[in-house]
Structure 1
């Protein structure tokens, strides 16, 4: 079983070191790809290993994705939406300059109208998104984003790593609805704008996602306990 702390943190430290050195470019990309496959479902990279994403998804019902155990929590559906939207926006628009994966066709399949990362959502808005989103299509969307990220990572050059994030690409995210004008959302553009490509690979492409998947595992444990209590009391 994948252990987020013991298995991940040394790799994150090593990735940071590799990305600093041109001589370690190949090692950096290979490590980044290896880390990336662990935060996506195994079919994305055709790995036979059980990934952290596999652990999150295993055994969950659609209803489990919608549960907010306490007012201090979010939902698993929100976590998955949040990290996938951020990966889609940052790798496709900021790093590559491509179109993001999310489009009107995906929105129809997902059965949502929201396009942003969800940073500024209230609890009610999180619950609304979690209940309305098609869970199978959320999985499909995440898989599509993951596969495209691997393609982009594999095509990077050493020169790309020090390339600064440009203002026109940040503006594209705003215009395409990836962030809202709410202070809890718009700050992301400033945060990403201070990075180069290597910085994006570290945060959010790797480290940010592990945090939210780990939170999803904790939410899953809480939900399983709630389900068990219901069974005992019926």
Structure 2
């Protein structure tokens, strides 16, 4: 198995978990916060999708799905166009509201398809390409992709946990 196949498998698992986390939930459940400063399922899924969209697009020289396919306007969150949720305050988390889980999964699926397309064209040596020189050591494409994969898995796990809390309440 090639490294790109492992990455494709990993990102595909995120897609499965995103769908499982939001399937069948209405707006009240999507926006419920188990504590006053906790993240909602809607925010967690939006954020993990924005991170993947932003980082993959940047690493591969692609347009962000959020901006290029009009999701920024469809979501209409009132946040800056390139906001990915990093460092959001509790008040900003509360602003991320969606009409349905379908909107979240449509956005995630579009980002997922772009991610798979980029990964499918990878050669092993591409993973060594430096994509961010602001760090010491500079970040390679391989490290960036594993970082996104890790971050996304953590956030979708958090969304699943919040869903479980809601179902047991």
For normalisation by structure 1, the TM-score amounts to 0.65
Q: Tell me whether 1:96 sits opposite 2:39 in the alignment.
A: no
C-alpha contact (below 8 Å) 2:19/2:105 kept by paired residues: no
Look up the match of 2:17.
Answer: 52
Look up the match of 1:125.
Answer: 92
C-alpha contact (below 8 Å) 1:165/1:192 kept by paired residues: no
Instruction: Give the greater-gyration-radius structure (CA).
Output: 1
Secondary structure of the 1:33 match is helix
For normalisation by structure 2, the TM-score amounts to 0.88
Look up the match of 1:8.
Answer: none
Correspondent of 2:162 among 206, 219, 225: 219
After TM superposition, give the deviation of residue 34 of structure 1 in Å: 1.0
Higher relative contact order (Cα pairs below 8 Å, separated by 6+ residues): 2
Secondary structure of the 1:165 match is strand
C-alpha contact (below 8 Å) 2:132/2:138 kept by paired residues: no
Look up the match of 1:187.
Answer: none
C-alpha contact (below 8 Å) 1:165/1:193 kept by paired residues: no
Separation of aligned partners in 2, 1:193 and 1:74: 32
**Structure 1: any 5+ residue segments left out of the alignment?**
1-25, 41-50, 168-189, 227-234
Secondary structure of the 1:150 match is helix
The change in CA–CA distance for 1:106 and 1:52 in structure 2 (over 3 A counts) is closer
Secondary structure of the 1:156 match is coil
**Structure 2: any 5+ residue segments left out of the alignment?**
none
Give the RMSD, CA atoms, in angstroms: 2.0
The change in CA–CA distance for 1:56 and 1:193 in structure 2 (over 3 A counts) is farther
After TM superposition, give the deviation of residue 164 of structure 1 in Å: 0.4
Q: Tell me whether 1:30 sits opposite 2:5 in the alignment.
A: yes
Correspondent of 2:140 among 176, 183, 196: 196
